Amino acid sequence: MPAHERIATAIRAANEAGRPGLVPFVTAGYPSPDTFVETLQAVAEVGDVVELGIPFSDPMADGMTIQRSSFEALQKGVSLKWIFDQLESAKDELDTPLVMMSYLNPLLAFGYDELAERALETGVCGFIVPDLPFEESDDIRAALEARGLGLIQLVTPATPDDRLETLCDASRGFVYAVTITGITGGDVGLPADLTDYLDKVSDISRIPVCAGFGIREAQDVANVGAHAAGAIVGSALVEVLEKGEDPRPFLRALLGA
């Protein structure tokens, strides 16, 4: 099966077990490059799919928490090449599908073909590129899909219906449904009309829909879990890692376990 189908399969397996899929986000190399593999394994123990953030100098779609973790990882020398090398060394002990979240420029500098090669070798099944709208995505999509890797599209409450169909159709692995119009790490709570929006996206999409942005507590996961296949938790988890705590109890609590 193509690598991107591993993502959808993992989320559907969670749903079949009677719970929403959980997609934890960690900034690669944060809080420390030395404990990267350890942190990843701990998070993968609870998460169904792990989203790995590639640090970038200009994280324009991210709030303060992820900006901070990203800059710190960069200062400690974390690069995409280093991340692939680490994943290579750990791939035998990791069977959770990985997706990489990266701004476009580090991927462009790495080269799309080599990127797809190395992703396939290291258990990375898909990519989320927050500053790459569908209209500009032909080149990278072709390189990824040639190797069965997925480009995960984001949709938002402001996305018009016809565009929503295009994006759901183009997405591989899951559809990333942004819950709020804002940046990551917002603490404004989830909007009331969220359920209609998530129902609509889930209705249109043939692959699982995961909701992200602003998800911090078990109640948030339950709320979006009733209307989407999975929940993505980013800034709240990075804050737990920032404090040097074990991420597993936090993630298990999100699932109400």
Partner 1 sequence: MSALLQQDEASQLLDAAIRGELPDSRGRFGPFGGRYVPETLVPAFERLEEGVKEHLHDESFQAEYRKELREWVGRPTALTFAPRLSEAWGAEVWLKREDLAHTGAHKINNAIGQALLAKRLGAERVIAETGAGQHGVASAAACARVGLPCTVYMGAVDIERQAPNVDRMHRLGAECVAVESGDKTLRAAIDEALRTWVTDPNGIYYLLGSAVGAHPYPYLVRELQSVIGEESRQQMLDQAGALPDAAFACVGGGSNAIGLFYPLLGDDIELIGVEAGGTGSGLGQNAATLATGTPGVLQGSYTMILQDDDGQVQETHSISAGLDYSGVGPEHALLQATGRVKYISAEDDEALEALEELCAAEGILTALETSHAFAAAKQYAKENPGSKILIGNSGRGDKDMPTLTKYPARIRTHASA
Binding site for partner 1 (CB under 8 A): 56-61, 63-64, 67, 71, 74, 79-81, 103-110, 130-133, 135-136, 153-156, 158-160, 163, 167, 178, 181-183
Q: CB nearer to partner 1: give 43 or 132.
A: 132
Shortest reach from residue 142's CB to partner 1, in Å: 17
Q: CB nearer to partner 1: give 160 or 244.
A: 160
Shortest reach from residue 153's CB to partner 1, in Å: 7
Shortest reach from residue 156's CB to partner 1, in Å: 5
Q: CB nearer to partner 1: give 5 or 165.
A: 165
Query: Taking Cα atoms as reference points, which of 249, 163, 175, 239 lies closest to residue 207?
Result: 175
| Residue 220 annotated in active site | no
Q: CB nearer to partner 1: give 37 or 61.
A: 61
Handedness of CA 202, 177, 14, 225 (dihedral sign): negative
Shortest reach from residue 126's CB to partner 1, in Å: 16
Nearest 5°: the CA angle 132, 234, 72 is 85
Catalytic residue among 62, 85, 145, 199: 62
Q: Distance between CA atoms of 131 and 247, rounded to whole angstroms?
A: 28
Residue 135's CB: how many other CB atoms inside 10 A? 7
Name 150's bridge partners: 126
DSSP state of 104: H
| Residue 93 annotated in active site | no
Q: CB-based contacts of 171: which residues, under 8 Å, 6+ apart?
A: 150, 151, 152, 153, 205, 207
Residue 109's CB: how many other CB atoms inside 10 A? 10
Catalytic residue among 5, 51, 114, 220: 51
Catalytic residue list: 51, 62
